[in-house]
Amino acid sequence: MNNALKNGDRGYLLTEQANPFSQNLDRLSALEIVELFNQEDAKAVAAVGQEKDAIAAAITCIAEALKSGGRLFYVGAGTSGRLGVLDAAECPPTFCSDPELIQGILAGGMNAMVRSSEALEDREDDGAAAIAERNISDLDVVFGITAGGTTPYVHGALKEAKERRAKTIFFCCVPPNQFPSQYDIEIRPLVGAEILAGSTRLKAGTATKLVLNTVSTGVMVQLGKVYGNRMIDVSVTNSKLEDRAIRIISDLISLSREDAAMLLERSGRRVKLALLMHWKGIDIVSAEQLLQDAQGHLRKAMM
């Protein structure tokens, strides 16, 4: 740990430094502010690209854990934690996944989603307790998110996860020489100083969202939730999703909208089953068995 941090000084961290390109931020016009943000946001995308190997390793690690009966837990405080909760919450409606499969742990609990509770990030013991409360084991993966790399709550959670032999993934936007760690996988997109000094909900937040989107989608692809580029395990819970399900079936099978809707109903409103029933010419019970034997992968079930 850097000696400055021991004294509470985080000014040396990349995420806390002043950005030379935004020194006159308060003097810019609205259009100039937008142009500056656009230029800086492009750096976040490039920084994520530099971490492609680590992100791919995270996808593989998590997919293997989930296939073996494990779970994924995102852990964070403030913006980082909220983005983890958001990504976890988006998986069930997008991929029809079990809500227990991917979960978000936020310092301060769900109240912290809408109310500032950043003071709670300093409680390392609370992070450890959150892991213990969920009975995390060696089957699980804990993904700690902290833009500046220093959040005690996150490290408390990751340390407890390691004690329980869970796989650990660490995300931050500072280099190892500024804050080293000893976790299984580290993802460190170096987005640089923020336009508004220290406001890591900006580029660091953008990089976080990009990485989490890639990781969770990549995992679901490996779990068989996708065919081609279609979300074939979509949860048909409202009119928009029903329309999407019908269009997926219609496009992939070249059926009329009316016939696709009828097939969807016969499948119990499950797109993956509808496709398999049609392509194999089988009933719903046989299709369910084929998918079970193929561990949910439609392409494998078609062989």
**Tens-binned pLDDT, residue by residue, of the chain (303 aa):** 555 555 566 778 888 889 999 999 999 999 999 999 999 999 999 999 999 999 999 999 999 999 999 999 999 999 999 999 999 999 998 898 999 999 999 998 888 887 776 667 788 999 999 999 999 999 999 999 999 999 999 999 999 999 999 999 999 999 999 988 899 999 999 999 999 998 999 999 999 999 999 999 999 999 999 999 998 988 788 999 899 999 999 999 999 999 999 999 999 999 999 999 999 999 999 999 999 999 999 999 998
Contact 227, 251 (CB under 8 A): no
> Which tokens go with 155?
């490290």
Say if residue 24 is in the same domain as residue 134: yes
Position 186 in a domain: yes
Position 128 in a domain: yes
Say if residue 263 is in the same domain as residue 153: no
Position 5 in a domain: no
What is the reported pLDDT for 118?
62
Say if residue 202 is in the same domain as residue 250: no
Say if residue 188 is in the same domain as residue 243: no
Using the structure block, give the residue that is written with the tokens 């074939």. Answer: 232
Of the residues 195, 222, 249, which one is the last residue of a structural domain? 222
Say if residue 85 is in the same domain as residue 37: yes
Say if residue 92 is in the same domain as residue 178: yes
What is the reported pLDDT for 235?
78
List 169's β-bridge partners, or say none: 143, 185
What is the reported pLDDT for 236?
87
What is the reported pLDDT for 11?
76
Choice among 90, 118, 124, 242 that is catalytic:
90
234 CB burial (10 A radius; 0-12, 13-18, 19+): buried
Say if residue 109 is in the same domain as residue 21: yes
Of the residues 163, 191, 222, which one is the last residue of a structural domain? 222
Position 230 in a domain: no
Choice among 121, 160, 194, 288 that is catalytic:
121
Say if residue 111 is in the same domain as residue 168: yes
Position 90 in a domain: yes
CATH number reported for the structural domain that contains residue 273 in this entry: 1.10.8.1080
What's the domain range around 181?
Answer: 14-222
Catalytic residue status for 64: no
- Could you give the number of structural domains in the chain? 2
Say if residue 128 is in the same domain as residue 37: yes
What contacts 131, CB < 8 A, 6 or more positions away? Answer: 73, 75, 105, 142, 157, 160, 161, 164, 166
Position 217 in a domain: yes
Of the residues 188, 222, 256, which one is the last residue of a structural domain? 222
Say if residue 254 is in the same domain as residue 218: no
Position 65 in a domain: yes
What is the reported pLDDT for 117?
65
Question: CA-CA distances (angstroms) from residue 65 to 47, 52, 53, 94, 145?
Answer: 27, 20, 18, 20, 19
What is the reported pLDDT for 10?
75
Catalytic residue status for 90: yes
Say if residue 40 is in the same domain as residue 65: yes
CATH number reported for the structural domain that contains residue 29 in this entry: 3.40.50.10490
Position 25 in a domain: yes
Say if residue 65 is in the same domain as residue 123: yes
What is the reported pLDDT for 8?
64
Contact 10, 4 (CB under 8 A): yes
